[in-house]
Amino acid sequence: MFQVLLALGDGEKHGYAILKEVEEQTDGHVRLSTGTLYAMIKRLLTDGIIEECRNRPPAEEDDQRRRYYRLTPLGRDVTVAEAERLEKLIATAREKHLLKRLKPA
């Protein structure tokens, strides 16, 4: 789910764009299926983490069947908070020389 939020971190995207972004972000390790993605989108919409975006691209680039989603201010806060939490974890791992040992720079 965090990957989806990250994918939306730099602006609104439609479903397929999110799928592609997540795949690229993870070097192909995480590939979401459409079912999984839209179940997540539904939950994120219900919880007010993301919202549907009314601004659509110019008509020649648009497809009416697509819907575009973006982070809400709450969603942005949640994403940032989660990223910071992970950052702290990584920092701790580094302090304990775990990361280096596991994955030398």
Partner 1 sequence: MSSGFISPSDRIYRALLRLFPGDFRSEFESEMEQAFREQREGIERRRGKAGLFRLWGETIAGIFTTAPAEHLAMLRQDIQYALRMMRKNPSFTAVAVLTLALGIGANTAIVSVIDAVLLKPLPYRHGDQLVMLHQRAEKVGLAGVGYSAAEVQDYRRQNGSLSDLVEFHSMSFTLLSKNEATRVRTGVVSDGFFRVFGVKPILGRDFTSADDQPGAPAVLLLSYEYWKTHENSDPNIVGKTYRMNDRVHTVIGVLPPVPQYPSENDVYMPTTACPFRSNPKTVANRNARMVSLFGRLKPGVSVDHCQSDLAVIAARLEKQYPEAYPKELGFTSTAVSLRKEITDDAKPMLLVLLGAAGCVLLIACANVANLMLARMSGRERELMVRSALGAGQGRLLRQLFTESFLMALLAAAFGVLFASQSLKLLVDFTARLTPRAREIQVDGHMLLFALAAAFLTSIVAGSVAAIRPRNNFTPGLKDGGCNFSMDRRRVTARNALVVCQVAFSFVLLIGAGLMLRSFFKLRSVDPGFVPQRVLAMKVSLNWSKYSQGEHVLDLTDRLLSRLRQLPGVLSVAASSSYPLDADAMRFGGWNQRITIEGRPENGSERPPLTEVRSASVDYFKTLGIPLVEGRIFERSDNEHAPKVAIVNQTMARHYFQGSSPIGRRISNDGGESWVTVVGVVADVKELGLDRDTADELYLAHTQAPGLGSVLVRTQQDGIGLADDMRGALRSLDPEIAVPNVVTLEQAEHEAIASPRVMTDLLAIFAALALTIAAAGIGGILALTVNQRIHEIGIRVALGAKPGRVLSMIIGRGMGLVAIGLGIGLAASFAFTRMIKALLFQIEPTDPVTFAGVSVVLAAAALVACYVPARRALRIDPLVVLRQE
Structure tokens at 3: 């990957």
- Nearer to partner 1 (CB atom), residue 34 or residue 92: 34
Q: Which of 25, 26, 34, 92 binds partner 1 (CB under 8 A)?
A: 34
CB distance 17 to 69 below 8 Å: no
Count of other CB atoms within 10 angstroms of residue 23? 16
Q: With binding defined as CB under 8 A, does residue 35 bind partner 1?
A: yes
Does position 63 bind partner 1 by CB under 8 A? yes
- CA dihedral (70, 11, 25, 43) in degrees, to 10, reads 0
Q: Return the residue of 1, 2, 24, 39 that touches partner 1, per CB under 8 A.
A: 39
Report the interface residues with partner 1, using CB under 8 A: 14-16, 19-20, 31-39, 41-42, 63, 65-67
